[in-house]
C-alpha cells in the first residue's frame, strides 16, 4: 500500500471537519465520512479519494444552493440538509468496501464498479437538489402523473439533466485522474462512458424504487405525504405505501449497488 492509514485518517478528518462546520454533516455524519475517507484513501488511493471529493463537494454545494426555497418546496424530505451517519454510509459505504477489495484482488472491474457507484450517488443528489427547484411539477416515473415537488419517484427534465451531468462529471474526473498516471487518452475514455451509463441508469432506478417500493407516510394533521415516520410537525405519520424496511437510504444503497454492478460489467467489457 502506497498510502498510510494515519495520513488517510488525518486528511479525511480535516475535510469532514470542514463539512461539519459548513453544516453538510451531523456529528454522526462526521465520523461516517472519516471512516469512509480513511478506507478509500488507504486502500483505493488518491484517485479514488478525489472522486469521492468531487461527489462530496459538489453535492454539499448543491444542497446549500437556494436552500431557503427548498425548505418550502421540500417539506416531504425526511432529511434534507446535513447528512448523518447512516446517510454517509448509504452514500459511501459501498465505495469503501470496493476500495478494500481492489487492494486484495487486482482487476479494472473494481475501479469501474467504484466509478459506477459514485456516478449514481452523485446523479441522485444532483437530481434531487436541482430537480426540486424546477418550475414545472415533477411527474411520477411510473405513470407520468404530476406530483408535488420533493415526491420520491417524481422526475423533472431539470433533475434528469442534472443526473446526466453529475455522472459525466464523475467520468471526466476519473479520466483526468487516469491521464495523470498515464498519458493515453484512448485507453481511459471507457471510464467516462461507464460513469455516464451507470450513473444515469442508477439514478433512474433510484426514482423507480422511490415511486414503488420506498416507504411513504401521511401526516393527518398537516395533510401531507412525508418520507419520515415522524413528520416535521412532531406527529407520528401513517404508512400509506411501500415497504416499511425500505427508506430513502435503502433506495440509495440499492441504486448504488446497481450502478456499481453496471460499472463493473462495462469495465470487464471495455477494459478487461
Ligand atoms: Zn405534520
Rounded distance between C-alpha atoms, residue 150 and residue 41, angstroms: 34
Ligand 1 centroid, distance to 73 Cα (angstroms):
15
Cα-to-centroid distance, 66 and ligand 1 (Å):
24
Q: How far is the CA of 31 from the centre of ligand 1 (A)?
A: 31
pLDDT at 72: 66
Q: Which grid cell is 178? A: 487516469
Tens digit of each residue's pLDDT (9 = 90 or more) over 179-221: 998 888 888 899 999 999 999 999 999 999 999 999 989 999 9
Report d(CA 218, CA 252) in Å as an integer. Answer: 22
Secondary structure letter of residue 83 according to DSSP: B
Among the listed residues 69, 230, 188, 42, the one whose alpha carbon sits nearest the alpha carbon of residue 52? 42
Lowest mean pLDDT among 27-31, 88-92, 266-270: 88-92
Running DSSP on this structure, what letter comes out for residue 236?
A: B
Distance 78 CA to ligand 1 centre (A): 12
What's the CA-to-centroid distance between 238 and ligand 1, angstroms? 11
Q: Where are the alpha helices (DSSP H) in 40-107?
A: 46-64, 67-73, 85-104
Give, in degrees to the nearest 5, the angle at Cα 263 between 255 and 80: 30
CA 174 – ligand 1 centroid, Å: 43
Span 89-111, mean pLDDT? Answer: 92
State residue 238's pLDDT score: 93
- CA 225 to ligand 1 centroid distance, Å: 9
Question: Residue 35 — pLDDT band, cuts 50, 70, 90?
Answer: very high
CA of 75 to the centre of ligand 1 (A): 10
Strands 224-226, 154-155: pairing is unpaired
Question: What pLDDT sits at residue 79?
Answer: 47
Amino acid at each position: 500500500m502506497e498510502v498510510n492509514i494515519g495520513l488517510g485518517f488525518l486528511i479525511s478528518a480535516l475535510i469532514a471537519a470542514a463539512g461539519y462546520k459548513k453544516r453538510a454533516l451531523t456529528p454522526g455524519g462526521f465520523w461516517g465520512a472519516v471512516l469512509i475517507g480513511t478506507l478509500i484513501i488507504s486502500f483505493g488511493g488518491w484517485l479514488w479519494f478525489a472522486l469521492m471529493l468531487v461527489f462530496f463537494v459538489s453535492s454539499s454545494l448543491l444542497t446549500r444552493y437556494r436552500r431557503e426555497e427548498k425548505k418550502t418546496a421540500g417539506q416531504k424530505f425526511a432529511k434534507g440538509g446535513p447528512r448523518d451517519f447512516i446517510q454517509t454510509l448509504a452514500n459511501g459505504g459501498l465505495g469503501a468496501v470496493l476500495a478494500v477489495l481492489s487492494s486484495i484482488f487486482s482487476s479494472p472491474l473494481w475501479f469501474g464498479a467504484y466509478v459506477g457507484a459514485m456516478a449514481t450517488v452523485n446523479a441522485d443528489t444532483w437530481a434531487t437538489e436541482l430537480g426540486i427547484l424546477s418550475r414545472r411539477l415533477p411527474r411520477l416515473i411510473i405513470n407520468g402523473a404530476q406530483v408535488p415537488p420533493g415526491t420520491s419517484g417524481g422526475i423533472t427534465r431539470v433533475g434528469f439533466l442534472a443526473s446526466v451531468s453529475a455522472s459525466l462529471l464523475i467520468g471526466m474526473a476519473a479520466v483526468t485522474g487516469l491521464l495523470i498516471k498515464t498519458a493515453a487518452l484512448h485507453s481511459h475514455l471507457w471510464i467516462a462512458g461507464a460513469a455516464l451509463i451507470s450513473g444515469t441508469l442508477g439514478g433512474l432506478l433510484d426514482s423507480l424504487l422511490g415511486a414503488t417500493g420506498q416507504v411513504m407516510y401521511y401526516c393527518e394533521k398537516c395533510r401531507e405525504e412525508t418520507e419520515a415516520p415522524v413528520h416535521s410537525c412532531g406527529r407520528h405519520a401513517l404508512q400509506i405505501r411501500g415497504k416499511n424496511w425500505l427508506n430513502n437510504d435503502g433506495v440509495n444503497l440499492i441504486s448504488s449497488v446497481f450502478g456499481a454492478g453496471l460499472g463493473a460489467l462495462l469495465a470487464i467489457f471495455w477494459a478487461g
